[in-house]
């Protein structure tokens, strides 16, 4: 591979990291409260609103069922109005955020539902308000599962960001298409694949390590 391509690979990697980071943050800001509400709004729960829970659940499921490449194309008019263009890195962030938010919401809902209901009843008996139960019981107890869920979401976003390159989203996917495929440079495609694998491994390892630090049930190795 030509040395001239190394700066291009580096720039594409930085663009991918930017897309994934921004979309992960924005999707978490949307998905976290949505996931908490979905986990606590069925009949008889903390924020009982079964009709709204069902409606939001249907919207989340419908969004999750769309293949990402179709979602990109379907929301192009919305993306153009929001960021002024339907191609490029910032445009890709819009579609990545909308793809990841419902996924994160379901992961957080699942993590919160795994919290022992006895802890919720104990907090209620002590007079805690629903919001206090969410902040001081549900989220802290579900934190390892939430972190693992967010890790899975970021890994998926890395793959989605590469797919966004097929429609001019920039980053490693775009580089692989323009150089590896269109210019018949398999070494560039190989480099892109290796970088994506390394990024996924780093994110997965970091997420598992952080989750283990928050897991109260995990054994701690003590120095002797």
Query: Which CATH number characterizes residue 44's domain?
Result: 1.10.3720.10
Tokens of 177: 């298409």
What is d(CA 90, CA 86) in angstroms, rounded to the nearest whole number?
Answer: 9
Residue 219 lies in a domain: no
Residues 95, 160: Cα–Cα separation, whole Å: 9
Is the CB of residue 182 less than 8 Å from the CB of residue 144?
no
Report pLDDT for 2: 60
Instruction: Give the whole-angstrom CA distance, residue 149 versus residue 171.
Output: 24
Q: Cα 163 from chain centroid?
A: 15
**Domain presence at residue 222:** no
Look at residue 35 and tell me if it is in a domain. Answer: yes
Q: Could you tell me the pTM of the whole model?
A: 0.87
Domain that holds residue 88: 5-116+126-214
Written as one string, the DSSP assignment of 125-176 is HTT--HHHHIIIIIHHHHHHHHHHHHHHHHHHHHHHHHHHGGGT--HHHHHI
Domains held by the chain: number: 1
- For residues 61 and 153, give the distance between their C-alpha atoms in angstroms, rounded to a whole number: 16
- Please give the Cα distance from 22 to 82 (Å, whole number): 15
Whether residue 76 is contained in a domain is answered as yes
Q: Which helix (H) or strand (E) holds 18?
A: helix 5-40
- Does 224 reside within a domain? no
Q: What is the pLDDT of residue 179?
A: 76
Each of the 224 residues of the chain gets a pLDDT tens digit; together they read 566 778 888 998 999 999 999 999 999 999 999 999 999 999 888 888 999 999 999 999 998 888 888 888 888 899 899 988 888 888 899 999 999 999 999 999 999 999 888 888 898 889 889 899 999 999 999 999 999 999 999 999 998 988 887 777 778 888 888 776 667 778 888 888 999 999 999 999 999 999 998 877 655 544 43
Q: Angle CA(63)–CA(66)–CA(67) in degrees, nearest 5? A: 140
The pLDDT value given to residue 87: 82
Cβ atoms of 41 and 47 within 8 Å: the answer is yes
**Is residue 170 within 8 Å of residue 177, measured between CB atoms?**
no
* C-alpha closest to that of 85 among 167, 163, 182: 167
């Amino acid at each position: 591979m030509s040395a001239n391509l190394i700066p291009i690979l580096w720039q594409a990697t930085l663009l991918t990291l930017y897309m994934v980071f921004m979309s992960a943050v924005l999707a978490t800001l949307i998905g976290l409260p949505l996931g908490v509400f979905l986990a606590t709004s069925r009949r008889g729960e903390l924020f009982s609103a079964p009709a709204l829970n069902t409606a939001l659940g249907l919207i989340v499921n419908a969004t999750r069922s769309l293949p990402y490449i179709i979602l990109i194309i379907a929301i192009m008019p919305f993306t153009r109005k929001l960021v002024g263009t339907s191609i490029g890195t910032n445009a890709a962030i819009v579609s990545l955020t909308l793809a990841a938010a419902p996924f994160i919401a379901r992961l957080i809902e699942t993590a919160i539902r795994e919290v022992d209901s006895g802890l919720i009843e104990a907090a209620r008996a002590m007079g805690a308000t629903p919001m206090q139960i969410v902040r001081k019981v549900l989220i802290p107890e579900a934190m390892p599962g939430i972190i693992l869920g967010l890790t899975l979401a970021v890994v998926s976003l890395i793959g989605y960001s590469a797919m966004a390159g097929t429609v001019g989203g920039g980053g490693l996917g775009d580089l692989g298409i323009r150089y590896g495929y269109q210019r018949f440079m398999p070494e560039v495609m190989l480099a892109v694949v290796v970088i994506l694998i390394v990024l996924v491994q780093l994110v997965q390892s970091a997420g598992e390590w952080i989750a283990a630090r928050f897991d109260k049930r995990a054994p701690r190795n003590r120095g002797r």
